[in-house]
Amino acid sequence: MTVLTLYVLFALTTAIVAVYELILPLRSMLDEDKIIEQWYIVVVTFFMIAVLVAPAILLPCLIPSMGDRFREAILKELQVGKA
């Protein structure tokens, strides 16, 4: 396999894990407030962005404390936008 193929594989797997680890846990927190109505758009958009910035999003996926801070920041910004 070439380097490009390996990087594409890395980016896709990182994006899948990022959606599973970072975005889907927010759904249970935000469902009671009904802040986001179109979750599939959020998931698809985050997946595409995560593919592009895979090296930067790898650490929040692997280190639990960084993932918690990432989720808290997203939650805080969404709740500020609601008010």
20-55 confidence digits (pLDDT tens): 999 888 887 776 666 677 888 989 999 999 999 999
Range of the domain at 43: 3-82
Output the CA torsion sign for 51, 77, 72, 30: negative
User: What pTM does this model have?
Assistant: 0.83
Enter the tokens of residue 19.
């959606």
34: left (phi over 0), alpha (psi -120 to 50) or beta: left
Number of domains in the chain: 1
51-74 confidence digits (pLDDT tens): 999 999 999 999 999 999 999 998
